[in-house]
Amino acid sequence: MEIIVENLTKDYGQFRALDHISLHITGGMFGLLGPNGAGKTTLMRILATLLLPTSGRVEIGGFDVLRQGSSIRQRLGYLPQEFGFYPGLKAFELLEYIAILKNVPPKQRKAQVEAVLAEVNLLEQAQRKVGTFSGGMRQRLGIAQALLGNPELLIVDEPTAGLDPEERIRFRNLLVGLSKRSTVLLSTHIVADVEFCNGLAVLEQGKVVFIGSPSELANRARHAVWQVKVPMEQWSEVERRYTVLATQMTNGMVQARLLASDRPLADAQPLSPRLEDGYVAVIQNHQKQREESYA
């Protein structure tokens, strides 16, 4: 499902949460990556027609968010960052209830609830009260409710927060699978979550600071990632001068991965950039530009 965002701005009173954002999403899995407060939830709530933009244009599958919200809602599944639960309901009951809210025809209700429970691997827990679910099970139930009504667009806001590494990987695979038939828009501040996205945008303080593929993001740190090994005494100087991406201690020496546009030390080894490196480089560039524009 095609999503077109043009010059979108959102103000909360005096505060500008989104600042002239433009995006074009054509399908598959698209990641929105950014630190806390970047504007991810604000953007997703506007796309989900829950929040009105201050200015700009948003079109989803040819429908305008301002004038054709109900057509968009019929084609949308949304998992909010905070998904409220009815802890006393059983998983099956909760989903049946949401299916009613989503106008799933009565005759299809039971079969659809079973189908989405199977899809997220919760069929065996169907008769358990959701209040007893683990974090990972809750997130999978959250996806199950978003899948009711066979949406063409699935918007999931930080769905991997609080999951253990194994659950996170399982959850990611679930989303990749779903993205074969629906457009999936995923927000996160964890870089590894967007590794399998077809496209992604980095948001920072309400601005889009990168749009491209995961490998293009990694490439933003090309020729700028180095490995150095220095004695403990010299470490504080290195730390002060360069952006440290990772460190490791070995026999009184500090081995570090650094971001630096020029070779930081004579014996520094160039490394090939990873996704995280590109993300740090993009965010840092943007912060530098902002400081310069204030100066």
Nearer to Mg ion, 157 or 277 (CB): 157
Select from 53-61, 73-81, 135-143, 252-260 the region that touches Mg ion (CB under 5 A). Answer: 73-81
In one-letter notation, the amino acid at residue 291 is E
- Length in residues, the chain: 295
Identify the residue whose tokens are 């659950």: 167
Residue 38 C-beta-side C-alpha neighbours within 13 Å: 24
Residue number with CB closer to ligand ATP (41 or 160): 41
Q: Which of the listed partners (ligand ATP, Mg ion, none) does 34 bind, with a CB threshold of 5 to 8 Å by partner kind?
A: ligand ATP
Binding-site size for Mg ion (CB under 5 A) equals 3
Residues that bind ligand ATP (CB under 6 A): 12, 15, 17, 34, 36-42, 81, 189
If one asks whether residue 145 binds Mg ion (CB under 5 A), the answer comes out as no
Nearest to 120 by CA among 106, 130, 105: 130
For residues 9 and 170, the answer to whether their CB atoms sit within 8 Å is no
Member of 3, 31, 41, 130 binding Mg ion (CB under 5 A): 41
DSSP one-letter code for 51? S
Question: Smallest distance, Å, CB 158 to Mg ion?
Answer: 6
Which residue, 40 or 274, is less far from ligand ATP as judged by CB?
40
Element (H, E) at 18: strand 15-25
Q: Smallest distance, Å, CB 159 to ligand ATP?
A: 12
**Residue facing Mg ion at closest CB distance:** 41
- Tokens standing for 134? 């683990």
**38 interacts with, out of Mg ion, ligand ATP, none, CB within 5 to 8 A per kind:** ligand ATP
Pick 146 or 228: Cβ nearer ligand ATP? 146
User: Helices then strands (H, E): number in the chain?
Assistant: 9, 14
**Residue 89 has which token pair?**
């309901």
**Nearer to ligand ATP by C-beta: 102 or 193?**
193
In order of 23, 165, 239, 251, 259, the CA distances from 233 in angstroms are 47, 35, 11, 13, 20
Residue 58 or 104 having the CB closest to Mg ion: 58
Burial class (CB in 10 A: 0-12, 13-18, 19+), 124: exposed
- Could you say which of Mg ion, ligand ATP, none residue 17 binds, taking C-beta under 5 to 8 angstroms by partner kind? ligand ATP
Which residues make up the interface to Mg ion (CB under 5 A)?
40-41, 81
